[in-house]
Amino acid sequence: MKRRMLWTGIAILGAVGFLGAALLVADHLRPFSQADQGQGRADIGGPFALTDHTGAPITEAALQGKVSLIYFGYSYCPDICPTDLQSIGETLDLLGNELPDAQALFVTVDPERDTPEHLAGYVSLFHPNLRGVTGTPEQIEAVKKEFRVYSKKVSAEEAGTTEYLVDHSAFIYLFDRQGHFVRVFGHGVQAAEMAAAMKAVRS
Amino acid sequence: MKFFAKHLALASLSMLALTGMAAAATVTVTEPFSRATAPTAKVGAAFLTLALDQGEDKLLSASSPVAEKVELHNHVMENGVAQMRSVAAIPLVAGTPVQLQPGGLHIMLIGLKQQLKAGDAVPLTLNFEKAGAVSVSVPVKGPGARPAAGAEQGGHNGHQH
């Protein structure tokens, strides 16, 4: 009887250990999981030094006093990014005068192709208050790390295409007026949901 | 001679029957649309729904005068990561329309020769294994345009060859 309990105990310990290890590995591998969505993770964001679509410098100070949506993508992306940027544009339209300090940033994960000039023509397609953000490849790598953004260049040969592509996580981040991370929305989120969440930001 | 003529007539008849059968399978293209691009954009995309009335076919390639090259692509979302890759062909089976739409299969216009502006129309030729070339006029909509509601119910702007 005692022996059986001992074995059961060992089995339980083993199972708990295995689960814990699996969770750790999974957390490390995935840029985000469903469980992350909707709840505060204060370790997202941080100082950055980048350039906006007008060529002006932009830092984390741009988040102060504004309720911000931040999206990472690339303009060469034909379908995922335009869909999310459309929703972001609609969100800003929905908020209208209700939330005059609402803004949205589109940070490229493809700084080689997304120059300020090119971004200027791109972001203006979606909304006048959408700011395009780019930088040197090193600056973009740094901001990606801070915002826990995953992206990886895929060579033309590997993708079977004419030009290289970029795999990237497609999340929309919400930041409060102190520049603190509030939550993240997944690809395909509706404008009404984002507008409601932005209005609910208190500080 | 008479024997020969009779056989010739029979052969012609069967040839006619064969071509008639081959031409019977038609590809229908519905709800085509493209998205407006930035002035300096080198790429654009076209989306549409393909349906086949009988048998099987394959979309092998496409071409357009507005782009240097046209590729068939697919976008897969995995753990929130968007991954775009080229696909060799898009298989079609009668009775199961295939939707090429944002976030999935799409036609990629590469090396744009002109800016795609909302209100314009892009000529596109689809090349099928059996149906051959099918021409379609793709209207350019907003930069983040989504498929029309009920696109899969079938529209009326398809062009058959």
Average pLDDT over residues A159-177: 93
Decide if B63 contacts B127 (C-beta within 8 A): yes
Are B82 and A77 inside 8 Å of each other by CB? yes
Q: Are residues A3 and A64 in the same domain?
A: no
Q: Are residues A127 and A157 in the same domain?
A: yes
Select from A32, A83, A124 the Cβ nearest to the Cβ of B146.
A83
Q: Are residues A58 and A2 in the same domain?
A: no
- The answer as to whether B53 is a domain residue is yes
- The answer as to whether A121 is a domain residue is yes
Are A31 and B144 inside 8 Å of each other by CB? no
Q: Are residues A181 and A147 in the same domain?
A: yes
Per-residue pLDDT at B47: 97
- The answer as to whether A69 is a domain residue is yes
pLDDT reading at B59 higher than 60:
yes
**Within an 8 Å CB–CB cutoff, is residue A125 touching chain B?**
yes
Domain ranges, residue B31 = 25-146
Q: Are residues A93 and A156 in the same domain?
A: yes
Could you give the CA distance from residue B111 to residue B68 in angstroms, rounded to a whole number?
A: 5
ipTM score of complex: 0.72
- The answer as to whether B134 is a domain residue is yes
Q: Are residues A5 and A46 in the same domain?
A: no
Chain B residues at the A interface, defined by Cβ less than 8 Å, are 35-45, 47, 69, 71, 73, 75, 77, 79-86, 88, 101-104, 106, 108, 110-111, 142-146
Per-residue pLDDT at A15: 57
Give the per-residue SS3 of A81-127.
HHHHHHHHHHHHHHHHHHCCCEEEEEEECCCCCCCHHHHHHHHHHHC
Per-residue pLDDT at A129: 92
Chain B positions in Cβ-Cβ contact with residue A106 (cut-off 8 Å): none
Q: Are residues A17 and A82 in the same domain?
A: no
Chain A positions in Cβ-Cβ contact with residue B88 (cut-off 8 Å): 160
Chain A positions in Cβ-Cβ contact with residue B108 (cut-off 8 Å): 78, 161
In 10 A of CB A147, how many CB atoms? 19
Per-residue pLDDT at B78: 87
Per-residue pLDDT at B25: 82
At residue A151, what is the residue type?
S
**Within an 8 Å CB–CB cutoff, is residue A91 touching chain B?**
no
pLDDT reading at B16 higher than 60:
no
For residue A76, the chain B residue with the least C-alpha distance is B43
pLDDT reading at B15 higher than 60:
no
Per-residue pLDDT at B80: 86
Average pLDDT over residues A74-92: 93
Average pLDDT over residues A57-63: 98
35-74 of A, contacting B, C-beta below 8 A: none
Per-residue pLDDT at B4: 57
Q: Give Cβ neighbours of residue A104 (< 8 Å, ≥ 6 apart).
A: A68, A69, A70, A71, A88, A89, A91, A92, A127, A129, A130, A131
**Within an 8 Å CB–CB cutoff, is residue A149 touching chain B?**
no
Domain ranges, residue A85 = 41-199
**Within an 8 Å CB–CB cutoff, is residue A89 touching chain B?**
yes
Segment B86-144, tens digit of pLDDT: 999 999 999 999 999 999 999 999 999 999 999 999 999 999 999 999 999 999 999 99
Select from A80, A126, A160 the Cβ nearest to the Cβ of B143.
A126
Q: Are residues A69 and A158 in the same domain?
A: yes
Tally of domains within chain B: 1
- The answer as to whether A131 is a domain residue is yes
Could you give the CA distance from residue A82 to residue A76 in angstroms, rounded to a whole number?
A: 10
Q: Are strands B56-63 and B90-93 parallel, antiparallel or unpaired?
A: antiparallel
Chain B positions in Cβ-Cβ contact with residue A76 (cut-off 8 Å): 42-43
To the nearest whole percent, how much of chain B has pLDDT over 70? 77
Lowest mean per-residue pLDDT among A23-37, A138-152, B75-89: A23-37
pLDDT reading at A35 higher than 50:
no
Average pLDDT over residues A149-171: 91
CATH of the domain at B75: 2.60.40.1890
- The answer as to whether A36 is a domain residue is no
Are A125 and B36 inside 8 Å of each other by CB? yes
- The answer as to whether B121 is a domain residue is yes
Per-residue pLDDT at A28: 38
What is chain B's mean pLDDT, rounded?
84
Quick one: which of A174, A179, A180, A177 has its CA closest to A195? A174
Q: Are residues A18 and A47 in the same domain?
A: no
Tally of domains within chain A: 2
Average pLDDT over residues A170-199: 95
- The answer as to whether A35 is a domain residue is no
Could you give the CA distance from residue A84 to residue B3 in angstroms, rounded to a whole number?
A: 71
Q: Are residues A76 and A12 in the same domain?
A: no
Segment A1-18, tens digit of pLDDT: 556 665 665 565 555 555
pLDDT reading at B1 higher than 60:
no
